[in-house]
Structure 1
Amino acid sequence: FRIAVVSDVHLGPVLGASHTRRIVEAVNATRPDLVAIVGDLVDGTVADLGPAAEPLTGLRSREGTYFVTGNHEYFGDARSWIEHLRDMGIHPLENARRELPGFDLAGVNDLAGERSAQGPDFAAALGDRDPSRASVLLAHQPVQIHQAVEYRVGLQLSGHTHGGQLWPGPYLAALANPTVAG
């Protein structure tokens, strides 16, 4: 089962629709079974950046595209983005879980959502699941792994650290996160 993970795109004044189209082409070329957008998709409002996100409607996978918030979504109006992505056919997992063939896919809101009473809720996403089923958790920040372990999650997919993107970034990211890659 192939999951394409997209994280920390940071659409904004510099990175727009052409950047999104390149990402969609690269992801589709891998022929994923599922696409997971694990936060920090945007740095701005739907009004300003909605057109830059539109190429995401071209993502193709057998089980669909799922989204969880990152800290940057909460710098603006996360709710508007969640609704806009839903209208585009992308499935937001707001402290929620979907049973897919063979495993449970869960997602939790980013920690930054706590400032607006929209933070992560692991009990809502994972509390009543059958622990005999395999599980994958989408959580923007790797530091959320500690709660994931408490709920016996098999695999957590995260972003946030920009691990390996620019030196000395991995060393700085490692100071605040239990993992940077892997």
Structure 2
Amino acid sequence: MTDKRTRLIETAIRLFHERGFWDTPTALIAREAGVANGTLFNYFPSKAALVEAVYLSLKQSWATHLQAAAPSSGSVHDRLAGYWTGAIDWARAHPDRYALLGQLKLSDEIGDGARAHGIDMFGATLELIGEAMAHGVIHPIEPDLLKTLAEAQISAAIEFLGKHPDASVAETARTSYEIFWRGIAVALTGD
């Protein structure tokens, strides 16, 4: 990514979180990023394109963090636990970005192509889940349902930690994951 494009996306992330993406004019984003308004449109042909770029930037940041957090080998249980904990850690380290990502996921501004690309960024996780289903480690669950259930339970753990600052992050992540695992595992052997 070019420096100006990165600066525009980072500025948009900050302003979209502060003001909402509907109430943030592109002129303000350009000014705050230190570029001419026309320059913004050299990188993003429309505000909708900028909103999608912000969405994809946030998804990529989260996906990269998950990949780094999860072990590359070991049982399915342990590898998925790494992704789970990584998701919670990223959201806690970047609460503004997590909140904005939640808003953008619900927005009509994000097209099907951007949504599909955002899902593809989590390819390693999805591949592991597919292999686990094929080998009978976890129940064959429709992938979008499984993703929705996981996101909801991760979100619940994050919300709990926000309301209970003295709670153990590690214990909350472990407990919330084990509850999820018991729902998807064919046998509760940890494999």
Query: Normalised by the size of structure 2, how large is the TM-score?
Result: 0.24
Higher helix share: 2
Query: Normalised by the size of structure 1, how large is the TM-score?
Result: 0.25
